[in-house]
Amino acid sequence: MALYEESVHKAFDRIKHSKLNAYITLDKEGALETAGKVDDGKVSGRLAGMTVAVKDCITTKGLLTTCGSKILSGYVPPFDAEVVARLRKEGAVITGKTNMDEFAMGTSTESSYYGPTKNPWDLTRVPGGSSGGSGAAVAGLECRMALGTDTGGSVRCPASFCGVVGIKPTYGLVSRYGVIAYANSLEQVGPMARNVSDAALLLDVIAGHDPKDSTSVPHDACYTDHLVEDVKGLTIGVPKEYFGEGTDKKVDNAVWSAIMKLDKLGADYKEVSLPHTKYALSAYYIIAMCEASSNLARFDGLRYGLRIGKDENWHTTFSRIRAEGFGEEVKRRIMLGTYALSEGYYGKYYLKALKVRTLIKQDFEKVFKGVDVLAAPTMPTTAFKIGEHADDPLSMYMADIDTVPVNLAGVPSISVPCGFAGKLPIGIQFIGGFFDEPKIIRTAHTYELNTDFQKLPEGF
| Sequence-ordered list of residues with C-beta below 8 angstroms from that of 172, at least 6 positions apart, any chain | 215, 216, 217, 219, 410
Q: With contact defined as beta carbons under 8 Å apart, do 209 and 217 qualify?
A: yes
Distance (Å, whole) CA 131 – CA 192: 10
Q: Which of 55, 70, 168, 439 is catalytic?
A: 55
Told to judge if 55 belongs to the known catalytic residues of this protein, a careful annotator would answer yes
Distance (Å, whole) CA 269 – CA 290: 38
Coil/strand/helix, residue 422:
coil
Q: Mind spelling out the 3-state secondary structure of 98-158?
A: ECCCHHHCCCCCCCCCCCCCCECCECCECCCCCCHHHHHHHHCCCCCEEEEEECCCCCHHH
- CA–centroid distance for 438 within its chain: 19
Distance (Å, whole) CA 86 – CA 102: 25
Distance (Å, whole) CA 278 – CA 125: 28
Q: Which of 18, 108, 112, 130 is catalytic?
A: 130
b/e per residue 54-88 (b: at least 16 CB within 10 A): bbbbbbbeebbbbbbbbbbeebebeebbbbbbbbb
Of 68, 184, 172, nearest in space to 129 by CA: 68
| Sequence-ordered list of residues with C-beta below 8 angstroms from that of 89, at least 6 positions apart, any chain | 45
Cis peptide before 130 (omega within 30 of 0): yes
Phi, psi torsion values for 119, nearest 5 degrees: -80, 125
Plot region of 290 (φ>0 → left; ψ -120 to 50 → alpha; else → beta) = alpha
Told to judge if 130 belongs to the known catalytic residues of this protein, a careful annotator would answer yes
Please give the single-letter amino acid code of residue 93.
V
| Sequence-ordered list of residues with C-beta below 8 angstroms from that of 29, at least 6 positions apart, any chain | none
Q: Which of 154, 216, 293, 415 is catalytic?
A: 154
Distance (Å, whole) CA 450 – CA 229: 9
| Sequence-ordered list of residues with C-beta below 8 angstroms from that of 270, at least 6 positions apart, any chain | 235, 236, 237, 238, 370, 371
Distance (Å, whole) CA 163 – CA 180: 27
Longest CA–CA span in the chain (Å) reads: 70
Active-site annotation, residues: 55, 130, 154
